[in-house]
Amino acid sequence: MTAVGSTAPESVVAAPLTVPPFAVVSGAQVQQALQGREAQIMDLVEATYRLHGAGDSVNPPSYFLRFPDRPSSRIIALPASIGGPSPVDGLKWISSFPTNVAAGIPRASAVLILNDHDTGYPFACMESSIISAARTAASAALAADRLSRGRPRPMRVGFIGVGLIARYIHTFLAGTGWSFAEIGVFDLSADSAAGFRGYLEQTDTAGRVTVHDSAEELIRSSDLVVFATVAGEPHVHDVSWFDHNPLVLHVSLRDLAPEILLASTNIVDDVEQCLKANTSPHLVEQLTGNRDFLAGTLDDVLAGRVTVPADRPVVFSPFGLGVLDLAVGKHVYDEVVRSGELHVVEDFFHELRRYG
């Protein structure tokens, strides 16, 4: 009981919970929100890695939906939650159907669902193949920058596998200050290699573009090697191809045989995420029975807990974290809101009274 004349402490009244409006964000809006902002997105990805490394996130194992009648195809669910200044929960649902390429449509398609932190209600469904490509490319560009410090900066880059992801990685490298004297291209599809070369020649990128006849030729002539294939098992086995100690962005995760990784300094984005699903690092763990071949995570490098040596190959194997999709997706959503072009679906949530 408060005495007369005394001042009672003000009680903190929480804002009432309300159901957020539900919006659909198109791929065109996503691209507009991201285009030309490569450095900003790379900084966002770095901040998200640091949040994840500090434990301010939830990133459960991805779930793979596979099909007995379509063994090369899969759909993956990546649930996640991220804290920090803009907390959000959500799920990326991304399919990979390699046979699409022969039909002239992209291999991957995806949506991202963003859930309200306080009510759990979904508030956005976003086209996410572009978000996924952008966060993958931003992660690769960040790794290229941080893992090349302390060694000569690569001047010759080579791309093995030249689809959408390779194009985005090149865009993010160029957009964050990289330039190359030589750019190498190798793909099992001659049409894909020619198409990627045409894309490169239309950009402002300086340097000679060479389409190589083999992966060996490309690797031996590159200081920075980008793997962005759809390989399901290792196809590169010869350790001597890496005698010049290149930096390898092993984005597609399953290209390198265990002996390559055992002869390299290995950095991953998340240990538990990466060592599963028969990725190349997972194959090394199965072969050796331990994880001693891992030097650490990219967050360890960012925080200075791990120093990357210059006298051996360095391989960055990112599994791809759902928290990165959330961070980039929320950034895109906020940009679309600021633009005044958010497309809200009226009455999407209809049964909002408990008893009618």
Confidence grade of residue 6 (pLDDT, cut at 50, 70, 90): very low
Question: Which of 10-19, 225-234, 237-246 shows the lowest per-residue confidence on average (mean pLDDT)?
Answer: 10-19
Judge whether residue 86 has pLDDT over 70.
yes
Judge whether residue 66 has pLDDT over 50.
yes
- Using DSSP's 3-state secondary structure scheme, residue 27 falls into helix
- Predicted TM-score (pTM) of the model is 0.91
CB 167 within 8 A of CB 199: yes
- Using DSSP's 3-state secondary structure scheme, residue 261 falls into helix
Q: Are strands 208-211 and 182-186 parallel, antiparallel or unpaired?
A: parallel
Residue 75 φ/ψ, nearest 5 degrees: -130, 135
> Domains of the chain (ranges plus CATH)?
22-131+322-345 (3.30.1780.10), 138-317 (3.40.50.720)
pLDDT at 4: 35
Judge whether residue 170 has pLDDT over 50.
yes
- Average pLDDT over the chain reads 93
> Quick count: other Cβ atoms within 10 Å of Cβ 172?
26
pLDDT at 112: 98
User: pLDDT of 247-257, one tens digit each?
Assistant: 999 999 999 99
CB 137 within 8 A of CB 172: yes
Paired residues of 230 in beta bridges: none
Question: Which of 9-13, 236-240, 256-260, 275-279 shows the lowest per-residue confidence on average (mean pLDDT)?
Answer: 9-13
CB 255 within 8 A of CB 235: yes
For 309, residues 6+ apart whose C-beta sits below 8 A from its C-beta are 265
Place of tokens 């040596």: 309
